[in-house]
Structure 1
Amino acid sequence: MGASGSPATDREITVCLAGDVMLGRGIDQVLPHPGDPRLAEPWVTDARAYVEMAEAANGPIPRPTAYDRPWGDLLEELRAIEPDAWVLNLETSVTQTAGFAPGKSVHYRMNPANLPCLAAARPDVCVLANNHVLDFGRAGLAETLDSLRAAGLRTAGAGGDAAEAWRPARVTLRPPPSRRGSASRHGPRLLVFSVGLPSRGIPLDWAATADRSGIALASASPPATAAGLVARVRGARRAGDLVAVSIHWGSNWGYRVPPEQVRFAHALVDGGADLVHGHSSHHPRPLEVYRGRLILYGCGDLVDDYEGITGHEQYRDDLRLLYTARLDKDTGALRGLRLTPFQAAA
């Protein structure tokens, strides 16, 4: 791929990014510890039906399947890249809690005992400010957070209160040559902020408050939300840090990027973000380089149980992308981008 695909230099960091990872429902059912398969969907009442659809489309799936199997060839690619940071949107509650969140037609839940599947990908940050992490209420969210913490998985975007939900995840990076040997005891970091927007249909009462658990949900006007995020970035950042803002927004289908999303992303970059990581679309959407910074408007799904579901074939949602960005350690500017395609198959 020429310069865009060449290895990172000593003055760069490599960040791998992906969109939605949905390890609940059908995928949970084929792992070694399947949870309760009951669903509250108007069209499917048993999660095993999604396994049957996938098998009808692509052939038999062993049950139980190995924890690493849902990732396919991705794990080999990650081992070859050895990124400095690896960020994905975990769009699944991790709980055995009963009680479906009201007012929703689709709920995702994986058994905490199946967390070795997520751990097999070794993500540095799982962002959680999305429209499925509270699918089983605040009790389900509490178990999700406790389970991920116990597994040693770092999160951003959800918490026991607003302070925790809005707090960025921090990934320590190798210092650039210009700062090695510094007297500072603190190395540079990648700060990952996670926020959900109402445009994704996230219930407003999922927002974390000072005395209530939930997600980092930005319900103010887009300009006010962007200004608030910029203030949080500036308050958390210290010298040498790079900043990624991960956003769950927009519709599931379609290639058009709304002008308000463009303005929002530009405001974040203007305010100091080095990378904007957008997701929720089930297929990749356009990307942009603005003022030398990468903006991903929709990364598409990475892992889900949609095989065999028809209706949107024109978008080729069976094709998945891993985004590998090389950023300048000193400035955060984009030095190169590699898009690695995969195809979903049972």
Structure 2
Amino acid sequence: MHHDKDGIQIAFTGDVMLGRLVNNVLSFDRYTYVWCDTLQMMRETDLSLINLECVISSKGREWKKTWKPFHFHADPDAIEVLKTVSIDYVSLANNHTLDYESEALIEMLKLLEKNKIAYSGAGRNLQEAMSPAILQAKKVKVGIVSLTDNQPEWEAKPDSPGVNFIPLILENDYDNRLEECIKDAKIRSDIVVVACHIGPHFREVPSRAYINFAHHIIDLGADVYWGHSNHMPQGIEIYKNKLIMYDCGDFIDDYAIDPDYRNDLSFLFLVNLTKNNVKEIELVPIKISEFKACTAPPWDADFIIQRMVNQCKILGTDTVIKNRRLFISIK
């Protein structure tokens, strides 16, 4: 899929979790291993954006102030895994960023800064957590806001570290916060992306509240809504000629596979856009096997494509299948 000379292509993924068993693989100095054959595809795009579903740090101790079933961290070395595939940006507003408390978070922020990988959604204080990342590719400036409705106890405060917490039901001052985040990104960029780690897990279809939330984000000025948290992809909606990817699923992890939901299957989402608008999206079927993200074999690709076609249909989105890839055009 070629884009026009002024256009750019951005790769979006769902959750990338480099802790636990994945971290053991990395200890063999195999930084390219987890990317399998998506490595080349991601390197060829103008920007690659992921949700980083763990903390990269050797510091801190397990979060115990509130109950959490899982704590994910990867060794500092895992930063090389991101660099080897030229990841440009990581979304940090999620339910694992503070798994090892703020000491580990701050070490990770320093690592990202030192290695020139942009981030948003978490910070040393509320202002940092709200602040968008601004990336430039060719002549297009992309502003990325990141937020989560998970772990309210991790909310960043004016003088303490944490995440950009924004609940699904926008009460109190949260609507103003959301508006401020998007406005800030809009002033500084051509295209605004909002990364949202919200909602429960394993829902085939986004709930009404979730749909309203995504629409509201577009109404506030975003061009792309980028959801993750569900552990399986949800449909794509074109709303007011803007792109809503309700959920991008999981991309790299060591999770148990649910045979009904098939959380080991997802997509690499390749989005073509210009300074003014999103043009087309291409979905490449991906299968997680042995902790790596590989192009899905034909039968798995057909399964996940068919499921996505149905999920899109529910949202009124037309899709085209070509060579075991799925295409959606924006008029």
TM-score (norm 1): 0.79
Matches within 5 A, 1:146-295: 146-175=110-139, 188-197=140-149, 202-219=150-167, 221-222=169-170, 225-238=174-187, 241-295=190-244
CA contact (8 A) 1:189 1:242 kept: yes
CA root-mean-square deviation = 1.8
Q: Which residue number corresponds to residue 105 of structure 1?
A: 69
Deviation at 1:98, TM superposition (A): 4.4
Q: Does 1:327 align with 2:279?
A: no
Match of 2:53 among 80, 85, 91: 91
**1:318 aligns with one of 264, 267, 272:** 264
Deviation at 1:87, TM superposition (A): 1.1
Deviations 1:78-110 (A, max 9, x none): 23xx32322110011111124211111100000
1:46-65 aligned at under 5 Å gives the runs 64=28
Structure 2 Cα separation of the partners of residues 256 and 19 of structure 1: 16
Classify the secondary structure of the residue corresponding to 1:139: helix
Counterpart-to-counterpart distance in 2, 1:343 and 1:267: 32
Cα displacement string for residues 127-150 of structure 1 (whole angstroms, at most 9, x for unaligned residues): 100000100011111111112222
Whichever residue aligns with residue 287 of structure 1, its letter is I
Give distance in 1, aligned partners of 2:82 and 2:182.
28
User: Structure 1 residue 65: deviation in Å?
Assistant: 5.4
In structure 2, do the counterparts of structure 1 residues 174 and 226 end up closer, same or farther at CA, with 3 Å as the change threshold? Answer: farther
- Could you say which residue in structure 2 is the equivalent of 1:60? none
**SS of structure 1 residue aligned to 2:187:** coil
Please state which structure has a larger fraction of its residues in strand.
Answer: 2
Residues 316, 77 of structure 1: alpha-carbon distance in 2 compared, 3 angstrom cutoff: same
Q: Is the 8 A contact 2:121 2:145 kept in 1?
A: yes
- Map 1:30-69 onto structure 2 (within 5 A): 30-32=25-27, 64=28, 66-69=30-33
- Partner letter of residue 285 of structure 2? P
Q: 2 CA distance for matches of 1:107 and 1:247? A: 20
Residue among 77, 80, 92 paired with 1:116 = 80
Query: CA separation in 2, counterparts of 1:139 and 1:235?
Result: 28
101-110 or 250-259: bigger deviation: 250-259
CA distance in 2, matches of 1:240, 1:108: 33
**C-alpha distance in 1 between matches for 2:274 and 2:78:** 37
Size of the alignment, in residue pairs?
Answer: 287
Shift of 1:321: 0.7
1:341 aligns with 2:305: no
Give the Å deviation of 1:319.
Answer: 1.5
Q: Structure 1: which 5+ runs fail to align?
A: 1-5, 33-63, 176-187
Separation in 1 of the partners of 2:80 and 2:238? Answer: 35
Q: Deviations over 1:210-251 (max 9, x none)?
A: 110111011483376455323332234237611000000112
SS across alignment from 1:237: helix
8 Å Cα contact 1:226-1:264 kept in structure 2: no
2:301 corresponds to: none
Please give the alpha-carbon distance, in whole angstroms, between the structure 2 residues aligned to 1:85 and 1:124. 6
CA contact under 8 A between 1:226 and 1:268: conserved in structure 2?
A: no
Higher RCO (CA 8 Å, separation ≥ 6 residues): 1
Q: Which secondary structure does the structure 1 equivalent of 2:260 belong to?
A: helix
Q: Give the fraction of aligned pairs with identical amino acids, expressed as a percent.
A: 30
2:286 aligned partner, one-letter code: F
- Which residue of 2 is the match for residue 143 of structure 1? 107
Offset of 1:343 from its aligned partner? 1.5
- Scaled by the length of structure 2, the TM-score of the pair is 0.82
Query: Aligned with 1:138: secondary structure?
Result: helix
Secondary structure of 2:15's counterpart equals strand
Tell me what 1:48 maps to.
none
Look up the SS of the partner of 2:279 in the other structure: strand
Q: AA paired with 2:273?
A: L
Q: Is the 8 A contact 2:168 2:213 kept in 1?
A: no
Q: Where has structure 1 moved over 3 Å in runs of 4 or more?
A: 223-228
